[in-house]
Amino acid sequence: MARFLLRRFISSIPVIIGILALVFALARMIPGDPCRAALGERATDEICDAYNERYGLNEPILVQFGIYIKDVATGDLGESFRFGVPVTQLLIERLPTTIELAGAALMIAVIVGVPLGIISGYRHNSKTDVATMIGANIGVAMPVFWLGLMLQYIFAVFLRDTPLALPPSGKLDAGLIPVPFYEAWGLPMNGLTEFLSEFTIMNALVTFQSEILSSAVLHLILPAVALATIPMAIIARMTRSSLLDVLGLDYVRTARAKGLRERSVILKHALRNAMLPVVTIIGLSFGLLLGGAILTETIFNLAGVGKTLFDAITSRDYTVVQGFTLVVAISFVIVNLVVDLLYTYLDPRVRVS
């Protein structure tokens, strides 16, 4: 097991180096002069020379890459031109919003998708099955941005004066300012506590700010549902087909033959094996969620990683593009690694081969 872990871990190192190289290369291929992008069109040549000197932009490209790797390794992702703060500071402020959104979406996708998949797999070809599969097909075909806008229209305009009305954008009602937990608890403010306090819902929960909590939850529902739809459909389909595969196996017949209740055959025997590919899919939905987050955050006006990244691209804030892309790609690799390990844990056969 330890050897497997090590091998799997080592095999992701070239990929991470490749990611660093690609991000580095792309950031340098973006048209425009980094100096003038940072200091404005009217920067003189002397100023730009000094700027390039200071940031090592006059060095050979390989040396620059070396400097870049060293900076990344020491946690220095550069400074945002637009906001004038380190990229890491922006990440501290904005990553939690995206994690919260993606986490809520994944939770909805799993909580709804898995049971739907089980029911339609078990009641294969029934009306429920057909309806679920039609729904799943439509679900994966829906553009996230369109679904988001339609949800906004339905819940913020059409149902405006009903109890079902939901806020169409933003993270909190206007005027609400959450008290960070470190202030409430008298802890020092540092990168970690600030990062943690940006998880609005968790922060409100542990400090009992009920008004903030309910506002944050209500604001999260629509974007989370929009973002959850595609993974939900995928998870439902995967659960269904995987359960169908397993239900045809001999050991399930044995379990039935020895007179186990159907409930326990499905839930205890079949499901355990049927969930293996589902776990992989759930892990891999992460990439989909991050891609979808760019669109969802733009539509629902949430200042998360996706929206920041998109704004940075349109305003040519290259260090932010570079830093955020890197963080997203590396976290994607880490999630895949974790999924692989989880899979190994769940299915011992993988370890043997």
Partner 1 sequence: MSDDLYDPSDEPLEPTDDQPLNTIEASDAIRDKVRMDLSGGDVSASTSGGLWRTAGREIIRKKSAIVGMSLLSILLLLAAFAPIIAPYPPDEVLFDQGVSPRDPPCIHLFGCAEENSQHILGIDGNGRDYFSRIVYGARVSLLAAFVAVLFASIWGTTVGLIAGFFGGWVDNFLMRVMDVLLSFPSLLLAIVVVTVLGPGLINAILAIAIVTIPQYARIVRSSVLSIREQEYVSADQALGVSRWRLLAHRIFPNTLTPLIVIATLGVATAVLEIASLSFLGLGVQPPTPEWGSMLAAERNQVFTAPHLVFFAGLMIMWNVLGFNLLGDGLRDAIDPRLGR
Q: Do residues 20 and 323 touch, judged by C-beta distance below 8 A?
A: no
What residues between 129 and 188 interact with partner 1 by CB under 8 A?
Answer: 136-138, 140-147, 149-150, 152-153, 156-157
* 314 binds partner 1 per the rule CB under 8 A: yes
Q: Which one of the spans 93-101, 104-112, 201-209, 231-239 is the region binding partner 1 (CB under 8 A)?
A: 231-239
CA 119 – CA 331 distance, rounded (Å) = 33
Q: Residue 65 interacts with partner 1 (CB under 8 A)?
A: no
Cα angle value 199/201/206 (rounded, 5°): 95
Indicate whether 296 belongs to the interface with partner 1 (CB under 8 A): no
How buried is 43 (Cβ within 10 angstroms: 0-12 exposed, 13-18 middle, 19+ buried)?
A: middle
Q: How near is the Cβ of 148 to partner 1 at its closest, in Å?
A: 9
Q: Is residue 98 involved in binding partner 1 (CB under 8 A)?
A: no
CA distance linking residue 267 with residue 117, whole number of Å: 13
Establish if 116 lies at the interface with partner 1 (CB under 8 A). no
* Long-range own/partner contacts, residues 132-139 (CB < 8 A, 24 or more apart): 132/236, 132/240, 133/237, 133/240, 135/233, 136/233, 136/234, 136/236, 136/237, 137/233, 138/233, 139/229, 139/230, 139/232, 139/233
Closest C-alpha to 69, from 18, 33, 29, 35? 18
* One residue of 5, 67, 217, 313 binding partner 1 per CB under 8 A: 313
Q: How far is the CB of 306 from partner 1 (least distance, A)?
A: 8
48 binds partner 1 (CB under 8 A): no
Distance of alpha carbon 59 from alpha carbon 341, whole angstroms: 41
* Piece of 24-32, 73-81, 194-202, 252-260 that binds partner 1 (CB under 8 A): 24-32
Binding site for partner 1 (CB under 8 A): 14-15, 18-19, 21-22, 26, 29-31, 124, 136-138, 140-147, 149-150, 152-153, 156-157, 233-234, 237-238, 240-241, 244-245, 277, 280-281, 284-285, 287-288, 290-292, 294-295, 298-299, 309-310, 313-314, 321, 325, 328-330, 332-333, 336, 340, 353
